[in-house]
Amino acid sequence: MSDSFPIPFEWKYCGTCGATLECLSDGEKLRPYCRSCRRHYYDNPVPACCVFIRDTEGRLLFGKRAVEPCLGAWALPGGFMEINESGEDCALREMAEETGLSGVRARLLGVSTSRNRNNNGVLVLGYLVEEWRGCLTPDSDVSDLRFFLREERPPVPFEAHRELLSLYDSLFP
């Protein structure tokens, strides 16, 4: 597994006017600030989802990553939320893109706010999908797709996925 996370994200220039940002208190703490736009910039976690696709034998679907970060590692299907999506939309879209399966509905399991290894904040929504249509077809982001029994699960590189897998195991012992 390679360690190829991009450098941590940091506000340096205003995304609207391009001016160099300064540090100014917003009344709570020092934050990047654009004097010409009179706007503070905030470092908020980025919402993402991961999908627990469960078959009738209780196995979960994992995809082998064909892209960085963590190329070659197995992980739950998922990805970052687009601006106009609900969490369920995001889960079903990522599922369709990565696995070729159309989920009938996605049920919220829980949320992880653990930081990734790049120390950027992510807020990962875990969704459960038990019913779908279509055939397993890996897209270009995954080289293989496989259902795993609990005791056969591969190691997963993302802390948020591990945290949500523990939650899943506590909900479905």
- Tell me the residue type at 103: G
For Zn ion (CB under 5 A), the number of binding residues is 7
> What is the distance between the alpha carbons of residues 100 and 169, in angstroms, rounded to a whole number?
26
Does 21 bind Zn ion (CB under 5 A)? Our answer is: no
Of 17 and 30, nearer to Zn ion (C-beta) is 17
Residue whose C-alpha is closest to residue 130's, from 33, 59, 67: 59
Count other Cβ atoms within 10 Å, centred on residue 137.
Answer: 12
**Of 3, 4, 9, 16, which one interacts with Zn ion (CB under 5 A)?**
16
- Least distance in Å: CB of 18 to Zn ion? 7
> What is the distance between the alpha carbons of residues 100 and 133, in angstroms, rounded to a whole number?
9
- Pick the piece of the chain touching Zn ion (CB under 5 A) from 16-24, 25-33, 57-65, 88-96: 16-24
Q: What are phi and psi of 74, to 5 degrees?
A: -90, 140
* Contact track, Zn ion, 140-159, x by CB under 5 A: --------------------
Of 39 and 59, nearer to Zn ion (C-beta) is 39
Q: Cβ(53)–Cβ(99) under 8 Å?
A: yes
Q: Which residues bind Zn ion (CB under 5 A)?
A: 14, 16-17, 19, 34, 36-37
